[in-house]
Amino acid sequence: MIYTVSRAVVRSLLLLVFRVRASGGSNEPPEGPVVVCGNHRSLLDPPMIACFLKRKVKFMAKAELFNIPVFSSFIRACGAFPVNRGGMSMETMKTAINVLKEGNMLVIFPEGTRQKTGKLGEGKKGAASMALRSGARILPVAIIGPYKPFRRMRIVYGEPFDAAEAVADLPSSERGDALTAKIMTAIQDLLDRHQ
């Protein structure tokens, strides 16, 4: 209930303030584990991605945010789970894989950190590893625009693809890097075609 109401409120605000146009929503897989991979430019990226999808999404948030009374309960209800600073720990990776194995959608930003230049950064292997270990599909997403009030923004959901199938012909030692490259190429392609 909290998730549904929060999503509706945030979506209305995004539409009003940033005049967001969403496209490609029909590409959202209706069921099963999905790693939603987008470019990362702002703290507003997770709600931007989540608000225009039909299914509930899960996402990672800084562990410190879960120490704030009330707010902690709110972000948990909105699908967040804690991640410690300093990179992806084994515990975080296990939690994420379990979230996916339960059939959920998980938002991940493969760049790992926000890119202030506006250009797509280098992808890290975390998203690919989670997808391969959980049997998930990948849904690439591009967020386009300046996050300036009343300047139009776009969010484009690309064609999903099966993570394991995408690298099935490669030795297991090469699959993580190859899938990461494919994910980043898919995001860049969306940026190039829709900017």
- What are the tens digits of pLDDT across the range 132-180? 999 999 999 999 998 999 999 999 999 999 999 999 999 999 999 999 9
Q: Supply the range of the domain harboring residue 34.
A: 2-194
> Hey, CA dihedral for 143, 144, 146, 150, is it positive or negative?
negative
Decide if 178 contacts 123 (C-beta within 8 A): no
For residue 128, give both structure tokens. 């690919």
DSSP string, 120-166: -----THHHHHHHHHT-EEEEEEEES---TTS--EEEE---EEHHHH
Total residue count of the chain as it appears in this document: 195
Start-end of H helices in the chain: 2-18, 45-51, 71-77, 90-101, 126-134, 163-166, 172-194
User: Per the structure, how many domains does the chain have?
Assistant: 1
Decide if 138 contacts 186 (C-beta within 8 A): yes
> In this predicted structure, what is the pLDDT of residue 86?
59
User: Which CATH number do you get for residue 99?
Assistant: 3.40.1130.10
> In this predicted structure, what is the pLDDT of residue 89?
75
> In this predicted structure, what is the pLDDT of residue 57?
94
Which portions of the chain are predicted below pLDDT 70?
85-88
Cα-trace Rg, the chain: 16
> In this predicted structure, what is the pLDDT of residue 85?
62
> In this predicted structure, what is the pLDDT of residue 141?
98
Q: What's the pTM?
A: 0.91
> In this predicted structure, what is the pLDDT of residue 185?
97
> In this predicted structure, what is the pLDDT of residue 137?
98
Crossing angle of helices 90-101 and 126-134, in 10° steps, is 40
> In this predicted structure, what is the pLDDT of residue 87?
59
